[in-house]
Amino acid sequence: MRSVSIRSTKRERTAQAPQPQPQKPPAQTPHATPLSPCEDLQVLIAKRAYELYSERGYRHGSALDDWLDAEREILSQIPPV
């Protein structure tokens, strides 16, 4: 009897060399122009909320209260349209 070898028609997978990663864009500077007025407002509120957090001695547990107080302060400074 004759031996027969069977070859697969599928290509064998070979490990590919790692592709170089594209350069990431440089990180934005802290004073970058906001994309919208809402983002600018959110940044102002976040900064004020952090100030309130620091005034409390960096004690945890009142993040929502700090945010709401900061939001109230910032929004009260904006004149009505």
The answer to whether residues 48 and 70 touch, using CB atoms and an 8 Å cutoff, is: yes
Taking the CA atoms of residue 57, residue 71, residue 65 and residue 54 in that order, the dihedral angle to the nearest 10 degrees is: -10
pLDDT score recorded for residue 52: 96
pLDDT score recorded for residue 62: 93
Residues 66 and 68: their CA atoms lie apart, in Å, by 6
pLDDT score recorded for residue 57: 94
Per-residue pLDDT of the chain (81 residues; tens, 9 = 90+): 566 656 656 565 666 666 666 666 655 555 555 557 778 999 999 999 999 999 999 999 999 999 999 999 999 998 887
pLDDT score recorded for residue 81: 79
Burial classification of residue 46, based on how many CB atoms lie within 10 Å of its CB (0-12 exposed, 13-18 middle, 19 or more buried): middle
